[in-house]
Amino acid sequence: MSGEGVVWSGKPTVLAFCDALAAGALLIAVSASLLATPLPAWLAALGLACGAVLILAAFIKSWANSYAVTESCVRREYRFVAVRVEEAPLSKVTDIVVEQSIVGRVLGFGDVRFDTAGTTFTGVLFKGVRDPVKVKELVVAKLKR
């Protein structure tokens, strides 16, 4: 992306991983309630640790992903321990799909998928971006030029 003008960039909101957040919180609550039962304490501690790991994983996914729309491409980068970069030239984008769940509509986030033709992969997914319709409109305007 060096030398290219970045038109839009962003990161996913941690709320996009609400399934992991909810599962982790539920596991922590259930495990905490096990402390008052005659079950072994290690079982409750294991549940607390697993719940915390689920919540931490949601935050790491949100922090490690970054998205960009440049003058010539859409790009997704995942940088944590490993690095994965997905990039599609704007000229190869054939379809732009916005998906929002009920939670996403209420909280203002959603997924934007850029489908491509003539590449070795199906496209690039921007998961959990704020105002996904604005991102789509920005890329559509860029494609019309």
pLDDT on residue 123: 85
**Whole-Å CA distances, 28 to 20, 41, 57, 122, 129:** 12, 14, 15, 37, 28
Query: How do the pLDDT tens digits run along the chain, 145 residues long?
Result: 455 789 999 999 999 999 999 999 999 999 999 888 888 888 999 999 999 999 999 999 999 999 999 998 999 999 999 999 999 888 888 899 999 999 999 999 999 999 988 666 678 999 999 999 999 999 998 888 7
Helix axis angle, 41-64 to 18-34, nearest 10°? 160
Q: Is 112 within the bounds of a domain?
A: yes
Please state, in angstroms and rounded to a whole number, the distance separating the CA atoms of residues 38 and 42: 11
Q: What is the tally of structural domains in the chain?
A: 2
Residue at which a domain ends, from 28, 45, 60: 60
Q: Is 92 within the bounds of a domain?
A: yes
Global pTM?
0.84
Give me 13's structure tokens.
């909101």
Q: Give residue 45's domain range.
A: 17-60
Q: Are residues 134 and 100 in the same domain?
A: yes
